[in-house]
Amino acid sequence: MSEILQVKDLHTYIGQFHILQGVNLTVEQGGVTCLLGRNGAGKSTTLKTIIGLLAPKSGTIGLAGGGAGAGPALTNIGGRPAHQVARLGIGYVPEDRGVFVDLTVEENLRLAERKRGDLAAKKDWLVKLFPDLERFWQQKGGRLSGGQQQMLAIGRALVPENKLLLIDEPSKGLAPIVVEQLAGALKELKRQTTIVLVEQNLWLAAAVGDRATVLDDGRTVWAGVMADLMASPELQNRYLGVGRAG
């Protein structure tokens, strides 16, 4: 299987704080790669550095087809501004969902169009995946529930043709039943695109994840198949803190 993203020895500072101190992450084409770790391990910072909201101090972020040609060779996109990274086909769903509260659902989705007609072409598929979006089409984003906002945030990342989605802790603050719906949607999505999923909810990560990379103190400490991590209480205990990180 070919790699779509390869992050090597990534170092990122926020102000004077050295947050990422050597993150390595390989994402293969298709499926879900989970990025796991305790609070403060550097998961969200990794996604922000990949999308271009934070500039790396050193290291590389190789994206397949990120260069002028559309070939499979990896091109270093580290340090490029976010809008350029996004236009290479990367969708980003931040931890706070990034829903614009004064824009309607339709306007939130239209904002993500890279060319006229993107939304019209995807609308039927999107509302089938997330039926609430159609029900609240003309409602302001701020009037949606947390779960509906999450559906909108993910739906928005699907409006353009993205080859890679970076989704930051989508289950945060959601009721268990909504998390189950989310798992169903992510399973459907991973058949069509590649997803990097930051998640504290180990149940959701296990339900949808194919591979996993674990960070601790800003460094990659483990990478492998999700099933291996789930089968090893010792690994879970060492890196995630059993019962807490779950």
Partner 1 sequence: MSGSLFLTLILNGLAIGMLYFLVAVGLSVIFGLMHVLNFAHGSFFMVGAYVGLAVFRRFGNPAIGTAPTWSFFLAMLAGALACGAIGYVVERFLIRPLYKRPLFLVLLTIGLILVIDESVKLIWSPNSQGSVIVPGLAGTVQIGDQPFALYRAFLIGFGLLMMGVVWWVINRTKIGIIIRAGVQDAGMVQTLGINVREVFTLVFAFGAALAGMAGMATAPFMGVFPQMGGEFLLKAFIVVVMGGFGSPVGTALGAIVLGLTEQFAPWLSPQWAGIAPVGMMVLVLLLRPEGLFNLSGRRAG
Residues that bind partner 1 (CB under 8 A): 51-53, 81-83, 85-87, 92, 94, 96-103, 107-108, 110-114, 142, 149, 156, 160
Which H or E run contains 131? helix 131-135
User: For the purposes of burial, counting CB atoms within 10 Å of the CB of 2, is it exposed (0-12), middle (13-18) or buried (19 or more)?
Assistant: exposed
Pair 84, 50: CB distance under 8 Å? no
d(CA 132, CA 148): 7
Q: How far is the CB of 240 from partner 1 (least distance, A)?
A: 28
Nearer of residues 182 and 202 to partner 1, judged by Cβ: 182
Give 144 or 189: the residue with its C-beta nearer to partner 1: 144
CB of 27 or CB of 229, closer to partner 1: 27
CA distance 22 to 12: 9
CB of 158 to partner 1, least distance (A): 12
CB of 74 to partner 1, least distance (A): 21
Strands 211-216 and 31-37: parallel
CB of 101 to partner 1, least distance (A): 6
Cβ-based nearer residue to partner 1, 170 or 209: 170
